[in-house]
Structure 1
Amino acid sequence: MLSVLIETRNDEEALARTLASLIGGAVEGVVREVIVCDTGSTDQTHRVAEHAGCHYVASGGVVAGIRQAKGEWLLLLEPGARLVEGWIDEVVAHTARQTMAARFSRVRASRVPFLARVFSGNRALADGLVISKQQAAAAAKNAGSAEAIARGRATKRLDAEIWVASAKQEHRSPK
């Protein structure tokens, strides 16, 4: 039902943390596949993806990943982001009744004060993005990265929470 896409570049440790938070979704049959879209890693990112049973896309970035995705809905995440227990039911309910994209709510410890958000380069993908494959494919025609697909998109806020990837592990995709 849900294809997870994670765009990476030298994110082996962060990728492992994100994949661990998806195990429950795979066991429940909600996560159909995980596609790791690499943008030029020189570390062991490909091995982490392969050992976890992910599809590894070495070229073409998130656009190639969207084309390969089998799910009708996509979940785009930054490496290092971790979904909090309870996300599965919320995503299933959302995809059953909505057509618009959605983002997760940040856990309290991950929330950034308002002024800090205003004056910092807020990452559009920091809160994840649940989006229909059709919408993502249309957006990908004009966007070269997962971040660009998420930027400026109107979304619904889910009750499920996410631990945001730390600034050190900030996603480094080409603009």
Structure 2
Amino acid sequence: MLSVLIETLNDEEGLARTLASLVGGAVEGVVRDVIVCDQGSADQTHRVAEHAGCHYVTGGIGAGIGQAKGDWLLFLEPGARLAEGWIDEVVAHTAKQTMPARFSRARADRAPFLARVFSGNRALAEGLVISKRQATALAKSARSAEALARGLATRRLNAEIWVAPPK
């Protein structure tokens, strides 16, 4: 049903945290596969991915999308963690919507208004749920998951995400 794609570059610690938050989705049968799209890590990112049973690709985000088995894709930054309740919300969205969606920031994780306005806005900070068909079309002109996610009109999911710390 859902393939998770995580683009990494020396993110072994963050990757482990993100993968831990996906366990419930795998147990429920919602997460079909997890693909780690690495951009040349020199740390142990590949070992974390392999030990967790993820597919590990080095050909960029397009290669990851090509290997995805699900009809819907969930893009996450390494270090981001999905809060309890995300599974039902994503299942409901993918069953009746066609447009992409993003998670809501966890209440305790929200920065003050001015800090959000003046911080660098990362397109994947709140994750992205998108159909494989749409992601495939966007990936033809996008070099990264961040570029793919930038500028998309999305629906806001009623499920929370703890945003990955900025690099």
Equivalent position amino acid for 1:2 in 2? L
Equivalent position amino acid for 1:73 in 2? W
Counterpart in 2 of 1:26?
A: 26
Report whether the alignment pairs 1:53 with 2:53. Answer: yes
Could you tell me how far apart the structure 2 residues matched to 1:152 and 1:159 are?
21
Deviation of 1:116 after TM superposition, in Å, equals 2.0
Which contiguous aligned blocks of 4+ residues in structure 1 show a shift greater than 6 angstroms?
A: none
Equivalent position amino acid for 2:55 in 1? H
Match of 2:111, SS?
coil
Could you tell me how far apart the structure 1 residues matched to 2:16 and 2:41 are?
15
- Describe the superposition over 1:135-167 as per-residue Cα deviations: whole angstroms up to 9, x where unpaired: 101111111000011111000000010000012
Deviation of 1:119 after TM superposition, in Å, equals 1.8
Counterpart in 2 of 1:74?
A: 73
Could you tell me how far apart the structure 2 residues matched to 1:75 and 1:132 are?
9
Match of 1:16, SS?
helix
Equivalent position amino acid for 1:147 in 2? E
Aligned Cα root-mean-square deviation (Å): 0.8
TM-score by length of 2: 0.98
- Structure 1, unaligned runs of 5 or more: 171-175
1:38-117 to structure 2, matched below 5 A, reads 38-58=38-58, 60-117=59-116
TM-score by length of 1: 0.93
State the percentage of identical aligned residues.
81
Report whether the alignment pairs 1:35 with 2:45. Answer: no
Match of 2:89, SS?
helix
Counterpart in 2 of 1:137?
A: 136
Equivalent position amino acid for 2:71 in 1? E
